Amino acid sequence: MDEFISLILQGIKLAKDLEPTLQNLANHQNQDMASKLDEIIRVFISARTRLNVDQHLSQMLQQQQQQQQQQQPQIDPSFQEYWLRTKMVELFQSQLMAGRISSSSGLENKQAAGGGIQMGSGGLAMELGGRDVQAVASSSMQRPRRRKDDAEKRTIRAPAPRMGNTEIPPDDGYTWRKYGQKEILGSRFPRGYYRCTHQKLYQCPAKKQVQRLDDDPYMFEVTYRSDHTCHMSATAPSVPPPQLPDITQGMTQTMAAQPPPWLEFSLGGGGSGSGGSSGSSMAGAGAGAGAGAGPSNARYNKEAEFPVADMADVMFNSGSSSGNSMELIFTSMEEKWEAGDKKK
């Protein structure tokens, strides 16, 4: 566990070292920035891996572990890295878009596209379809419908839980509301239709279809349609956020999502213990089984709904002009990690 902590601290240090760079990002070498980000990501990935090993060795947590592994089946490490990369890039990107960090660079799109699309090996394959995103039709219109392959479509495969409620689709960090289910010709299992929980509040057009594979009932095929436009920060304005174009829209909107379960556990966030804020782990159509809560797995605690978004807020909003946000956020994260560690 010492090694784990030192890895975490190393990552924090690297991130802190990066902070002064943020002040004058415009003048900075993007490649340099990218490599530093890569380094930070590597360190945290190592820490995460290390944590897994330690958990395996811990008899105290054996039972809890099994539950974790069953409910959150093995995620390909490459996906973990992908996720971290994406979040890091998004974090910077969203700030660039918001003009909080001035830059004339092309960091965002190149990096974002790379981070967002290059994935595939292992348990999670991703295919990207067309990307002609269209505005949502006016609500007064009669049931506007698109042509079948008109909207942006992304299909991924994700493992289903092998124990407990295997009906639950995998958590992807968003909160979804089921609005339909349909038997599909030639498929053994019905297809579930979900839309973003915040559809009403933010006119978020995001949808997904979840279908269990015929040949592998422990695998879901999840098809996403349209991007989230809901900026799900707790401090988000009440006015619907402006639409962002193309890739950047998809990237920034995921910023608001919750961390995936494997990360959430490492942060000590959604897990067993403190208080009653189990809400964070409940988000998404698939998160429920973890907390052992009832069948209504998509319920969530509104106050603890968007931890990552909050993190971003702390990082860039809190203290407004004082430049120590980086320190603040990592101090807070250190505390979380320590707290989580003590539980073990």
Partner DNA sequence: ATCATTTGACCTGC
Partner DNA sequence: GCAGGTCAAATGAT
- d(Cα 300, Cα 175) in Å, to the nearest integer? 8
Give the residue, chosen from 142, 320, 321, 322, that forms a contact with DNA under the rule CB under 7 A: 142
Half-sphere exposure of 137 (CA within 13 A, CB side): 8
Min. distance of Cβ 290 from DNA in angstroms? 14
CB nearer DNA, residue 185 or residue 239: 185
- d(Cα 301, Cα 20) in Å, to the nearest integer? 36
Min. distance of Cβ 283 from DNA in angstroms? 10
**Amino acid, res. 128:** L
CB nearer DNA, residue 130 or residue 319: 130
Chain position carrying tokens 């006015």: 239
Q: Give me the 162-191 binding string for DNA, x by CB under 7 A, dash otherwise.
A: -------------xxxxxxxxxxxx----x
- d(Cα 21, Cα 7) in Å, to the nearest integer? 22
The answer to whether 235 and 317 have CB atoms below 8 angstroms apart is yes
Kindly state whether residue 147 participates in binding DNA, applying the rule CB under 7 A. yes
Min. distance of Cβ 171 from DNA in angstroms? 12
Give the residue, chosen from 145, 215, 275, 342, that forms a contact with DNA under the rule CB under 7 A: 145
Q: Give me the 188-217 binding string for DNA, x by CB under 7 A, dash otherwise.
A: ---x-x-x-x---------x-x--------
The answer to whether 251 and 116 have CB atoms below 8 angstroms apart is yes
The answer to whether 88 and 114 have CB atoms below 8 angstroms apart is no
Min. distance of Cβ 309 from DNA in angstroms? 17
- d(Cα 121, Cα 296) in Å, to the nearest integer? 33
Give the residue, chosen from 28, 42, 157, 299, that forms a contact with DNA under the rule CB under 7 A: 299
- Choices 10-18, 83-91, 239-247, 297-305 (CB under 7 A): range interacting with DNA: 297-305
Min. distance of Cβ 196 from DNA in angstroms? 10
Kindly state whether residue 135 participates in binding DNA, applying the rule CB under 7 A. no
Q: Tell me the number of residues near DNA by CB under 7 A.
A: 34
Chain position carrying tokens 């609005």: 179
Give the residue, chosen from 101, 126, 293, 314, that forms a contact with DNA under the rule CB under 7 A: 293
Rule CB under 7 A: which of 227-286 touch DNA? 285
Which helix H or strand E contains 201, and what residues bound it?
helix 199-202
Kindly state whether residue 296 participates in binding DNA, applying the rule CB under 7 A. yes
Q: Is the Cα dihedral 275, 281, 285, 291 positive or negative?
A: negative
Min. distance of Cβ 124 from DNA in angstroms? 21
Give the residue, chosen from 31, 59, 63, 148, that forms a contact with DNA under the rule CB under 7 A: 148
- d(Cα 255, Cα 87) in Å, to the nearest integer? 6
Q: Which strands sit side by side in the sheet containing 153-159, from one edge to the other?
A: 126-128, 153-159, 219-225, 207-212, 191-196, 176-182
The answer to whether 312 and 241 have CB atoms below 8 angstroms apart is no
* Contact residues for 338 (Cβ-Cβ < 8 A; gap 6+): none
- Choices 76-84, 139-147, 154-162, 323-331 (CB under 7 A): range interacting with DNA: 139-147
CB nearer DNA, residue 103 or residue 278: 278
Which helix H or strand E contains 212, and what residues bound it?
strand 207-212
Give, to the nearest 10 degrees, the angle between helix 325-342 and helix 2-23.
Answer: 170
Min. distance of Cβ 94 from DNA in angstroms? 24
Min. distance of Cβ 315 from DNA in angstroms? 27
Min. distance of Cβ 288 from DNA in angstroms? 8
Where along the sequence are the contacts to DNA (CB under 7 A)? 142-143, 145-149, 175-186, 191, 193, 195, 197, 207, 209, 225, 285, 293-299
